Structure 1
Amino acid sequence: MDQWSRSAVIYQVYPRSFKATSGSVGDLPGITSKLDYIAQLGVDALWLSPFYRSPQKDAGYDVSDFRDVDPLFGTLEDAEALIARANQLNLKVIIDLVPNHTSDQHAWFQEALGSEPGSPARERYWFRDGRGESGELPPTNWVSVFGGPAWTRVPDGQWYLHLFDASQPDLNWENPEVHDEFESILRFWLDRGVAGFRVDVAHGLMKDPDLPDWQHTWGMVSGQEETDIPPAPMWDLDAVHDIYRSWRGVLDEYGAMMCAEAWVIDDDRRSLYVREDEFDQCFNFSFLSSPWTAADMRSTIRESYAASARVEAPTTWVLSNHDVVRLPSRMGLDRTGKGPNGIYTHDPQPDHELGARRSRAAHLLMLALPGSAYLYNGEELGLPEHTSLPDEARQDPTFFRTQGAEAGRDGCRIPLPWAADEPHAGFSPDGSWLPQPDGWADHAVDRQEADPDSYLNFIRSALAYRAKHGLGLAEIRDESEGGVLDYRVGPVRVITCFDEEAPLPEGWRVLLSSSPVDDRIGTDTTVWLVAENDV
């Protein structure tokens, strides 16, 4: 297994929202033009969300060709140029791999639609006969993660499985042809210099071939939230680990890594993905979903380390991504944690000042913790959720498949603000695929770079001190008492106050603080301290 990733800080780039060189959608040349900015943050690598050829029904997670770049984002040569420039800047490049499903426009699925039931082409997917007198009912009562049924009927009467949108048919990983195809895809991109893969829906590839009924929900990021129900026949099956053991051999040939997106809130189940012969990392969604209280955060951190230690693996911390409400807005709600799936104008609105204060404290806590960590683009700017997005602008299939019951994920995907006084806040001269909210320019990179107290400069300082003091690989010791977290991480003392203040301890000086401190550490504040006799 790879070693650099055990303590790496990795920056997620959502290509369509990062930087556009023309048009209203971000592109690969736009990302390449901002690689210096990413390197100056102090991160070790970037993870690119999908840029493959795709009809874009689910923002590129519906892949029609895994070996090509969608013209929306550029060309294969643009991808190779991006990787080459990143390597010059000592940035590793990780790309998204989407093995659970393809687009319905993928050549395999189109072949399946033109083939007979039971044909080899259909066996690459989950085609089944329906129930009822004439097969008019779906094969099971399974529901899609995006809402609605998980089966769609084709003209000849059979049904196909899609645990997400109907445009995303699930692959049948019982089929050896699927295994061979993805090993080839891995090698295709490894040969072009990528350092590894973030594996989408890593817990979902294997299904119980008996297809038993199971009409329960499995939430994005949060996993199974209901209790006292039978095990899911399509999520987190033990058989999925055989796939990753086979991939491990390929990755080791190239010295590459992989990170699991496994929506498994149980720490012990999550730790199975990072056993020595499987993944290098697995997102700690327990941490992302934890309420902002001393008791919840302390138990989450403690249990996360205990589970990881059982398999001698690092913990991979994360607070945000393209699937959840942005952190400053989640932290400004009455109920903290994972938050809702999007926020409407008529929903309870976040307290922006409180949310920003807590968000800084959470970031400083996360970046002190040994292990690896991920930052979602715009997180370093303290960007809030867009909570007044008009319905006609929404594009997330969740919004449509739930008939608007859920606002969806568009609010955390708004194109980034780069320059306050340029059109579309410097994202593109030509437009913005999702409208930017009022006041977006106030968060622009050029304004924040000029402000020593900005969120951007705060994150840069935290990453610089994290590297200087080796926090990613340090030993951690918990000396917390009551409602205050108190950790020793290498030479740094990390104190987080939640709803009560604490005195600034004698014999220690402040290295970095999420909020101003004097002789007391205020509520919703994290401080990093070093002993006064340390230089």
Structure 2
Amino acid sequence: MTTAETSTPPVPVPAADADWWRTAVIYQVYPRSFADSDGDGTGDLPGITSRLGHLADLGVDALWLSPFYPSPQCDGGYDVADYRAVDPRYGTLDDFDTLLAQAHDRGIRLIVDLVPNHCSAEHPAFRAALSAAPGSAERALFHFQDGRGPDGSLPPNDWTSMFEGPAWTRTVGPDGRPGQWYLHLFDPGQPDWNWDSPAVRADFERTLAFWLDRGVDGFRVDVCDACVKAPGLPDWPHPTHGVVEPVDGVMPPMWDQDGIHDIFRSWRRLLDSYEGQRILCAEAWLPPERAARIVRADEMHQAFNFRFLETLWRPGDLREVIDTSLAANSAVGAPTTWVLSNHDVMRHTSRFGYDGPVALEHGVGVGDPQPDRALGLRRARAATALMLALPGSAYLYQGEELGLPEATDLPDDVRQDPVWERSGHRIRGRDGCRVPLPWTADGPALGFSTTADTWLPQPASYASYAAAGQRNDPASTLSLYRRLLTLRRRHRLGEGPLRWQESPGHVLHFANGCVQVMTNFGTEPVPLPPAARLLAASATVTDTLPPDTTVWFTGRQALSGGS
């Protein structure tokens, strides 16, 4: 095997590309945990702006911001009290405009979060609804129902919350008497909007226009498949967690109802009326064939491939989900959007450190079985190298480029995920993937802030993952990500098509253009083609491919075979 040059100069991000979203690599920032500019222990917009150089050097095409809107933070900002403002903890609208302008100056597009299924219980519209009478126009914006039973003391149906417990909370009137119930698929502090209301639809279009007018490049749409509920809100005595699928041919009444598509089409028309290509990315935990319905030509542009994220480190399972996903999206003319980590699931650096399945959103704490960190990192690097060679778009979650593991030793008394309390301390939740990033190996908060009193504490072990210590180390995870993103753009890997090559059962081998990709899932090294010219590898490679390793290479002799 011959080795290509070890240093690859970056390829500039194109200034304009009508189809940029089809092949883009988009980096998620969770604002509370990225960078703190004012020393209060919470990340903010100026902090993100100060670290844009890191993202430019990494080579991403766009930045997605999790919510930065005014919020009581009962669910990490996904309980929005004002959709058209910035929470003072994160800065001001001027700070947002500065971030947007400086990102664009660096060739990085900016996507913001839209949270249409629910708002905060502190939202003015919900506060007005609580004060209004049953049957009022104010209550029609939400799902208020009378309870069941002779005194209305039972919830209107049997739906359960995604955060454990019932999906209904009973109101109490000014006189102290119990009243109607309201629906919340998540926390009681997150009442669900009623999308049967024309007023709700009109107000969200005003929100979209507000941010589009400021110049954003699109929206990641939270829980978009839950906006429309089945008429009558019928009982559903089945679990609704994870990828949502039909039971006996019937979809759960709170997920993926046909009415969502009219909403998405109206949003697409609005976005298409703006100059440049603005995009919509769907968060929908659906199987590939149902998710593909959301990305038809007149609806959203992208949908996260959560089936890929959930797949275990098994070659057959991964090949099946890759094939299924590409076929489903190809049928509607949409790209597949790959993802391995985000702010809601265990970081894949830790997830792959277990031999079997894990509960993605349950978290890990002191006393729980711990992942094998070395194995997890090795597999995570290999998984990322495999993913970034697949045709389509890809999302990265902040810190994964550092090989950052889940924080598995957080004290239980600092946990903030609402599922921790609502589950009676059975489920630790998602705080472990949201811990502030380490930028330096020293300082009170490892370069994240000037105070050690961060909103979630950083494990001491995070110092060894600091960005500063990895920047000039060619063997670091950060260097691997930079190299993969540069090569991905240079060889136009996002465009495809993918062609499977003959390989043993414990190896995945495919070609994308002139680049060959092999991943060894076995326990022994496998030979590489002798004429292969190495482009990148997730671990040290000679003339054989070690276990849990992915390699990119070229060479005429390596191009024989295929399926």
TM-score, normalising length: structure 1: 0.97
1:185 to 194, 207, 211: 207
Give 1:208 deviation, angstroms. Answer: 1.1
AA matched with 1:490 = G
Instruction: Please give the alpha-carbon distance, in whole angstroms, between the structure 1 residues aligned to 2:120 and 2:288.
Output: 32
Contact 2:437–2:448, Cα closer than 8 Å, also in 1: yes
Structure 1, 11-20 or 339-348: larger mean CA deviation: 339-348
Instruction: Please give the alpha-carbon distance, in whole angstroms, between the structure 2 residues aligned to 1:510 and 1:457.
Output: 16
The residue that corresponds to 1:485 in the other structure is 508
The residue that corresponds to 1:19 in the other structure is 35
Contact 1:143–1:216, Cα closer than 8 Å, also in 2: no
Contact 2:64–2:112, Cα closer than 8 Å, also in 1: yes
SS of 1:160 mapped into structure 2: strand
SS of 1:191 mapped into structure 2: helix
The residue that corresponds to 1:385 in the other structure is 406
Give 1:39 deviation, angstroms. Answer: 1.0
Contact 2:280–2:302, Cα closer than 8 Å, also in 1: yes
The residue that corresponds to 1:349 in the other structure is 370
Instruction: Please give the alpha-carbon distance, in whole angstroms, between the structure 1 residues aligned to 2:249 and 2:426.
Output: 24
SS of 2:517 mapped into structure 1: strand
SS of 1:96 mapped into structure 2: strand
Contact 2:35–2:436, Cα closer than 8 Å, also in 1: yes
What value does the CA root-mean-square deviation take over the aligned residues?
1.5
2:141 to 124, 135, 155: 124
Change (3 A) 1:38 1:76: same
Task: Please state if 1:531 is matched with 2:547.
Answer: no
SS of 1:424 mapped into structure 2: coil
The residue that corresponds to 1:223 in the other structure is 243
The residue that corresponds to 1:499 in the other structure is 522
Change (3 A) 1:2 1:279: farther
Give 1:499 deviation, angstroms. Answer: 1.5
Contact 1:330–1:338, Cα closer than 8 Å, also in 2: no
SS of 1:223 mapped into structure 2: coil
Contact 2:100–2:110, Cα closer than 8 Å, also in 1: yes
Deviations 1:370-411 (A, max 9, x none): 100000000100100111111110000111111111110000
Task: Please state if 1:173 is matched with 2:195.
Answer: yes
Which runs of structure 2 are paired with 1:176-325 in the superposition (5 Å)? 176-219=198-241, 222-224=242-244, 230-254=250-274, 255-264=277-286, 266-325=287-346
Instruction: Please give the alpha-carbon distance, in whole angstroms, between the structure 2 residues aligned to 1:348 and 1:114.
Output: 48
Deviations 1:216-248 (A, max 9, x none): 2222xx323796585311111111111000100
Contact 1:217–1:224, Cα closer than 8 Å, also in 2: no
AA matched with 2:101 = A
Change (3 A) 1:494 1:338: farther
1:467 to 484, 489, 496: 489
Instruction: Please give the alpha-carbon distance, in whole angstroms, between the structure 2 residues aligned to 1:328 and 1:6.
Output: 26
Give 1:432 deviation, angstroms. Answer: 1.2
Which sections of structure 2, spanning at least 5 residues, go unmatched? 1-16, 174-178, 559-563
Contact 1:289–1:337, Cα closer than 8 Å, also in 2: no
Give 1:337 deviation, angstroms. Answer: 6.5
Structure 1, 446-455 or 316-325: larger mean CA deviation: 446-455
Q: Percent identity?
A: 53
Moved over 6 A (4+): none
Give 1:531 deviation, angstroms. Answer: 1.0
The residue that corresponds to 1:151 in the other structure is 168
Instruction: Please give the alpha-carbon distance, in whole angstroms, between the structure 1 residues aligned to 2:250 and 2:208.
Output: 35
Task: Please state if 1:102 is matched with 2:119.
Answer: yes
AA matched with 1:503 = P
AA matched with 1:223 = V
Contact 2:246–2:252, Cα closer than 8 Å, also in 1: no
TM-score, normalising length: structure 2: 0.92
Which runs of structure 2 are paired with 1:42-121 in the superposition (5 Å)? 42-121=59-138
SS of 1:245 mapped into structure 2: helix
Contact 1:143–1:215, Cα closer than 8 Å, also in 2: no
Task: Please state if 1:417 is matched with 2:438.
Answer: yes
Instruction: Please give the alpha-carbon distance, in whole angstroms, between the structure 2 residues aligned to 1:244 and 1:284.
Output: 18
The residue that corresponds to 2:7 in the other structure is none
Change (3 A) 1:340 1:63: closer
Deviations 1:94-118 (A, max 9, x none): 0000000110000100110110000
SS of 2:76 mapped into structure 1: coil
AA matched with 1:304 = S
Give 1:211 deviation, angstroms. Answer: 1.1
Change (3 A) 1:120 1:408: same
The residue that corresponds to 2:176 in the other structure is none
Instruction: Please give the alpha-carbon distance, in whole angstroms, between the structure 2 residues aligned to 1:28 and 1:480.
Output: 48
AA matched with 2:375 = L
Contact 1:2–1:257, Cα closer than 8 Å, also in 2: no
AA matched with 1:269 = R
The residue that corresponds to 2:418 in the other structure is 397
Instruction: Please give the alpha-carbon distance, in whole angstroms, between the structure 1 residues aligned to 2:344 and 2:361.
Output: 11
Change (3 A) 1:250 1:340: closer
Change (3 A) 1:448 1:427: same
AA matched with 1:182 = F
Instruction: Please give the alpha-carbon distance, in whole angstroms, between the structure 2 residues aligned to 1:293 and 1:318.
Output: 17
Task: Please state if 1:513 is matched with 2:537.
Answer: yes
SS of 1:512 mapped into structure 2: strand
Contact 1:260–1:281, Cα closer than 8 Å, also in 2: yes
Give 1:425 deviation, angstroms. Answer: 0.4
Give 1:204 deviation, angstroms. Answer: 0.4
Instruction: Please give the alpha-carbon distance, in whole angstroms, between the structure 2 residues aligned to 1:223 and 1:346.
Output: 28
Instruction: Please give the alpha-carbon distance, in whole angstroms, between the structure 1 residues aligned to 2:77 and 2:259.
Output: 27
Contact 1:130–1:159, Cα closer than 8 Å, also in 2: yes
Contact 1:328–1:382, Cα closer than 8 Å, also in 2: yes
Instruction: Please give the alpha-carbon distance, in whole angstroms, between the structure 2 residues aligned to 1:338 and 1:369.
Output: 26
Change (3 A) 1:333 1:227: farther
Change (3 A) 1:348 1:88: same
SS of 1:526 mapped into structure 2: strand
Instruction: Please give the alpha-carbon distance, in whole angstroms, between the structure 2 residues aligned to 1:154 and 1:349.
Output: 42
AA matched with 1:198 = R
Contact 1:103–1:169, Cα closer than 8 Å, also in 2: yes
Instruction: Please give the alpha-carbon distance, in whole angstroms, between the structure 2 residues aligned to 1:435 and 1:492.
Output: 42
AA matched with 2:546 = G
